[in-house]
């Protein structure tokens, strides 16, 4: 089967890949094995997926579910090719997510897939946009958010998350201070969670509840705010400002600045100078 797999991002216990398959009706399926928990969002094409949990037809928006050690086959009797964003989680990592989802008690998927669900649509759009813009830094959070939403949907959980405790609020405040101090360097979700002695998923969920945005969104906001201030208050080169703010390349900085501020960095600086 003609399948290519590109690693988009990875960390301790997790990985996300862009998987492209060009197989067609004339290609025979062959058996493969899931080595980790797999949550794969289909972004284009259709295919048949068979595993010990059952058989299902997957189309764009559907979620393929796989358990470690489970053998599976994919077939393309009804059309050629497909593409998926495939998130992989080590058992211990997934166990930490399941333990934090209210009402979820089972480690492992009982069904082979989830159909396209409205609750997952915004997250999948974010993930696909991150793939297309090569925003690898966003995938650690997106993987956790998608995994938590999938676990909740697969378990039928409808229980609301508990309100953040004072201790949780203190942890988020400490993380905010760390981001503000070190916004110019790479800060992973795992590092921030370790600093609060919580699991990445618990930390991400709590941070969103307390701060109203994810840690990565707060980090980007902090970097862009500082860059905007420098653009207005100095004559330094835009590239130097971007790199010192923590952005790896100028094109990424320009794209994100325009998305948030509504105009390119150069235009923003010129408008401020003429005011």
State the CATH number of the domain containing residue 96: 2.60.120.10
pLDDT digit string (tens) for the chain, length 275 residues: 578 999 999 999 999 999 999 888 777 777 899 999 999 999 999 888 999 999 999 989 999 999 999 999 998 876 778 999 999 999 999 999 999 888 887 889 999 999 999 889 999 999 999 999 888 889 999 999 999 999 999 888 655 667 778 888 899 999 999 999 999 998 999 999 998 888 999 999 999 989 889 999 999 999 999 999 999 999 999 999 999 999 988 999 999 999 888 899 999 998 877 65
* Residues 170, 81 share a domain: no
Number of domains in the chain: 3
The answer to the question of residue 161 being in a domain is no
Backbone angles phi, psi at 205, to 5 degrees: -65, -45
* Residues 93, 47 share a domain: yes
* Residues 225, 208 share a domain: no
The answer to the question of residue 270 being in a domain is yes
* Residues 257, 203 share a domain: no
Q: State how far the Cα of 45 lies from the Cα of 114, in Å rounded to an integer.
A: 16
The answer to the question of residue 65 being in a domain is yes
* Interior angle at CA 157, CA 168 and CA 128, nearest 5: 80
Task: Please state the pTM of the whole predicted model.
Answer: 0.85
CB 89 within 8 A of CB 37: yes
Domain that holds residue 250: 218-274
């Amino acid at each position: 089967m003609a399948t290519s797999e590109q690693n988009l991002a990875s960390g301790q216990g997790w990985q996300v890949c862009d998987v492209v398959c060009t197989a067609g009706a004339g290609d025979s399926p062959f058996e493969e094995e899931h080595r980790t928990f797999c949550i794969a969002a289909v972004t284009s094409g259709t295919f048949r997926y068979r595993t010990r949990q059952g058989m299902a037809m997957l189309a764009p928006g559907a979620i393929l579910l796989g358990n470690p050690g489970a053998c599976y086959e994919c077939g393309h009797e009804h059309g050629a090719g497909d593409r998926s964003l495939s998130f992989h989680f080590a058992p211990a990592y997934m166990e930490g997510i399941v333990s934090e989802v209210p009402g979820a008690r089972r480690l492992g998927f009982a069904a082979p897939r989830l159909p396209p669900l409205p609750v997952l649509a915004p997250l999948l759009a974010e993930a696909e946009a991150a793939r297309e813009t090569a925003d690898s830094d966003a995938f650690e959070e997106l993987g956790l958010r998608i995994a938590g939403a999938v676990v909740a949907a697969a378990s039928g959980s409808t229980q609301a998350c508990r309100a953040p405790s004072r201790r949780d609020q203190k942890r988020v405040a400490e993380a905010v201070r760390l981001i503000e101090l070190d916004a110019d360097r790479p800060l992973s979700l795992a590092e921030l969670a370790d600093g609060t002695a919580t699991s990445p998923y618990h930390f991400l969920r709590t941070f969103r509840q307390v701060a109203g945005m994810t840690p990565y969104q707060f980090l980007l906001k902090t970097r862009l705010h500082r860059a905007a201030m420098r653009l207005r208050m100095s004559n330094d080169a835009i590239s130097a400002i971007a790199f010192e703010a923590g952005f790896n390349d100028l094109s990424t900085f320009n794209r994100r600045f325009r998305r948030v501020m509504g105009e390119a960095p150069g235009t923003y600086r010129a408008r401020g100078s003429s005011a």
